[in-house]
Amino acid sequence: MELLTTSIVCLLSCCTILAVIINFKALLSFFFFLFFFFFSSPRGSNNRRLPLPPGSLGWPYIGETFQLYSQDPNVFFDSKQKSYGSIFKTHILGCPCVMISSSESVEFVLATRADLFKPTFPASKERILGKHNFFFHRGDYHLKLRNLVRRAFMPESIRNMVRQIESIALGCLASMEGRPVVNAFQEMKTYAFNVVMLAIFGKEDEETQYWEDLKRCYHVLEEGYNSMPFDIPGTLFHRSMRARRELGLILSKIISTRRIKNNNGSSSSNSRSNDLLRSFMDDREGLSDEQIADNVIGIIFAARDTTASVLTWSLKFLCENPSALSAVTEEQEAIKRGKEGKIGEVEGGLSWADTRRMPVTLRVFHETLRLASILSFTFREAVQDVECQGYLIPKGWKVLPLFRNIHHNPDNFPEPHKFDASRFEVAPKPNTFLPFGSGVHSCLGNELARLEILVLLHHITTKYKWSRVGSERGIQYGPFALPMNGLPIRLSSVLSPISHATVPE
């Protein structure tokens, strides 16, 4: 009955809008349709007798979108959980949702009964990323694309990228040095973008000319990720969709260039034979150019801002925790000293083996993932009515597993809001640490993210010092959770007297 009442309220709100743009006769017909829909549909199943989870749907259509994305996510999620418990309903980005925060329920949705839920995003994200993106699919198509991405991002494929990633990291840090103030997040976005370009396209000289255009278009496109899907001139979503079309044209040029070179057998000798685009374009896979473009954009979305956010939080937490910074620096200096004078070693150059010998830095990486919880939640959609914790999740509703709440649960991690990398000296309990998701749709880029983060942390701790500029605290979305204003910092070489502290503006 609660579901019926809620649905009628939402639909009556729609009718109010319709009354403005259509005549009375059409509106009357619409009311007859609603009457027929609600009172002729069967509602006798056991699930229909279950109540909806407690909570609030907020304003019609808009729901509680602004409450979520305009404040510290901890405030929103904590207040909801305190008021309603570990399962509650809400409405964000135009979608009725059920949010869940118990480890058992999250495992139920993502793994144990994943067949009852399909991967999904709100309409704005789905339209921006493209209908062929494998994130939104199940079955054979998803499996085929997932295997292609896994093949390109597995350790055996990326281990030969260490020196190239290292070169990108050194260039990024050099460009930051000596400037009065830099936006750490923006610089880390550039670094992560260049790394994911390398992973997707390799080092084809003819294709790197398009990288700046891709970066420019993607910068506009990402502004609409958390917007309402109103494709009206002047809106963020409209600008994003326009950039999305331009991005598709640029990718078509790259694909055409690569195809011509493949047909002529003239690929450059320094190209990576296992880059992601090469896997997508394999004739045996039978992917269309549109399918390839959608999935390339999806990989950029998944790999760039998430990694940039983790790096930004890492710099913040290390700056605020001198003992952690000292431990990481000591470990990285030891690796650096161990390479001095070795025959065949490039001075200062890291190897794949080096990146596997950084346990202290890796624990800092894991604690950053936990405390920052870059991915606060993920999206699923119920493919049928589902019972969860004694409540009804109606077919078609979004289901949001709350990783942030699990990571900040004191039963899982004592003193959860304290940065303490030593907690990862012991493996966390099952289903309590989920920075890359869980189940068949878990993140495939975790090894690449780990590699590029460890490489940059090696060089920034052994060659540089940084300080935070200003004292403003807080969290903002961009589109993932990150420190306020992107963490303004000042970076200098280790020869400079600057300290890892907060510098007044």
List, as residue ranges, the binding site for heme.
443
The token duo for 39 is 């009172």
Dihedral angle computed from the Cα positions of residues 196, 202, 204 and 207, in that order, rounded to the nearest 10 degrees: -30
CA-based nearest residue to 466, from 297, 294, 328: 328
Q: Are 255 and 275 in contact (CB under 8 A)?
A: no
Helix (H, G, I), strand (E, B) or coil at 66: helix
User: Could you tell me if residue 215 is left (phi over 0), alpha (psi between -120 and 50 degrees) or otherwise beta?
Assistant: alpha
Binding residues: 443
What is the CB neighbour count within 10 angstroms for residue 505? 9
90 backbone dihedrals φ, ψ, rounded to 5°: -155, -170
Q: Are 315 and 184 in contact (CB under 8 A)?
A: yes
Helix (H, G, I), strand (E, B) or coil at 344: coil
Could you give the CA distance from residue 505 to residue 503 in angstroms, rounded to a whole number?
6
Q: What are the b/e assignments for 271-303, b being 16+ CB within 10 Å?
A: bbebbbbbbbbeeeeebeeebbbbbbbbbbbbb
Residue type, 319: C
Q: Are 164 and 264 in contact (CB under 8 A)?
A: no
CA-based nearest residue to 371, from 74, 50, 75: 74
Q: Are 195 and 210 in contact (CB under 8 A)?
A: no
Could you give the CA distance from residue 400 to residue 385 in angstroms, rounded to a whole number?
16
Could you give the CA distance from residue 284 to residue 389 in angstroms, rounded to a whole number?
45
Q: What residues have CB less than 8 Å from 166, skipping those under 6 apart?
A: 349, 350, 455, 459
CA-based nearest residue to 207, from 255, 161, 173, 156: 255
What is the CB neighbour count within 10 angstroms for residue 140? 8
| Cα 502 to Cα 177, 182, 420, 427, distances in angstroms | 17, 14, 20, 33
Could you give the CA distance from residue 53 to residue 356 in angstroms, rounded to a whole number?
45
217 backbone dihedrals φ, ψ, rounded to 5°: -65, -40
- The HSE-up count of residue 37 (CA atoms within 13 Å, CB side) is 10
